Amino acid sequence: ITIVCLILSACTPTVVEPEKISELKLVTAPIIDPLKMSEALEILKPALIEEYEKEGIMIETVSIDILTSHNATGEALSSATAQIGLIGATTYVEYKDEGIEAVLAATRAKVSKDSLNPADWNNQIPTTRDPNTLTSSINALVLAGPSEKGKEFASLVNSNQTIPWESLSQAQWCISSSTTSSIAYIYPNLWLYETYGKLFKDLETAPLQGTFSDTISMLALEECDIGLGYSFILSDYEKAWSEDYKRKENIFTEVNVIGVTRSIQNDIVALSTKHENYSETFKRATMNVFKRLVEREDMATAFKVFNILGYQDAKEEMYEDTIIAYEFVKEKMNE
């Protein structure tokens, strides 16, 4: 009888209890109006619960927090107050030694304009994107708005002339409130140094700070002469330029590119390695979950906020140039 019982016990399948997480917390930075961003990302909450369940992880609740800045997302991950962050490359570089691991790198549609000569962007033809050709990097643009100074700068660049440093220094700039923003702080700072041997701290007029939507708004209101944005920002705000800000001319006519930065690595899905939920199992599950989510048609509006079409595995060597750029600017700003 004992032998039979042992045999029967051996044949009984082992029941594996699913991992349970009471709250999954995801953080990101405000790249557009935080309220609109929060509304767009709301659909991710039930989808995350659904997708993690496929990985054998039961999530009770999901919170998605739009924090005040890129720096704040790094702080949240490094302090283990969140498990997941949708963050920029330079935010990762700043906090990578403080308990943050990059697991996925975003891919975006290739932009129709990629010249490093700013005048080549100013043909008044809308910038388009090819969803069939994906890229893991992007350029940041230095933009001159329709203010008098902005028009002056655009005229000089489009005539292949150099804008005097004194004029740039006295102009009103709009930059990011986050010192780890790749597009609106680090790389434009590097561009300024490579072009003029100067940095934001050398500007005579103190820059205004905000999100990308703030920048477009202040350019339209002519409160800023110069703004910073990603390579297809004008396309994203083409409709708002005329409808929301009541500008009479097209955004591609009124806003000109006066500077193009080096190539910048796209955004990252990052994990807090300090969080109690972090494990190799959770890491692999998260990678699978986000790769599936970005492919789902019903999640398109959420990922459109970040202009992300796909994800690939993140590798340390992807961020070597970002590390060099970030450390250089940080060192110079602290001199």
CB 78 within 8 A of CB 98: yes
99 Rama sector, left if φ>0, alpha if ψ -120 to 50, beta otherwise: left
Q: How many angstroms separate the CA atoms of 310 and 51, rounded?
A: 16
Each of the 335 residues of the chain gets a pLDDT tens digit; together they read: 444 444 444 444 444 456 899 999 999 999 888 999 999 999 999 999 999 999 999 999 999 999 999 999 999 999 999 999 999 999 999 999 999 999 999 999 999 998 999 999 999 999 999 999 999 999 999 999 999 999 999 999 999 999 999 999 999 999 998 888 999 999 999 999 999 999 999 999 999 999 999 999 999 999 999 999 999 999 999 999 999 999 999 999 999 999 999 999 999 999 999 999 999 999 999 999 999 999 999 999 999 999 999 999 999 999 999 999 999 998 988 88
Q: What is the pLDDT of residue 286?
A: 98
Q: What is the pLDDT of residue 15?
A: 44
Q: What is the pLDDT of residue 311?
A: 97
Element (H, E) at 89: helix 89-95
Q: How many angstroms separate the CA atoms of 297 and 169, rounded?
A: 46
Q: What is the pLDDT of residue 18?
A: 63
End-to-end CA distance of the chain: 82
How many residues appear in the chain?
335
For every residue of 194-246, DSSP letters joined together read HHHS--GGG-SSPPEEE-HHHHHHHHHTTS-SEEEEETTHHHHTHHHHHHTS-
Q: ∠ CA(197), CA(266), CA(310), 5° rounding?
A: 165
Domains, the chain, with CATH or none = 16-109+265-319 (3.40.190.10), 110-264 (3.40.190.10)
Q: How many angstroms separate the CA atoms of 66 and 76, rounded?
A: 11
**pTM score above 0.95:** no
Q: What is the pLDDT of residue 217?
A: 97
Q: How many angstroms separate the CA atoms of 322 and 330, rounded?
A: 12
Q: What is the pLDDT of residue 17?
A: 57
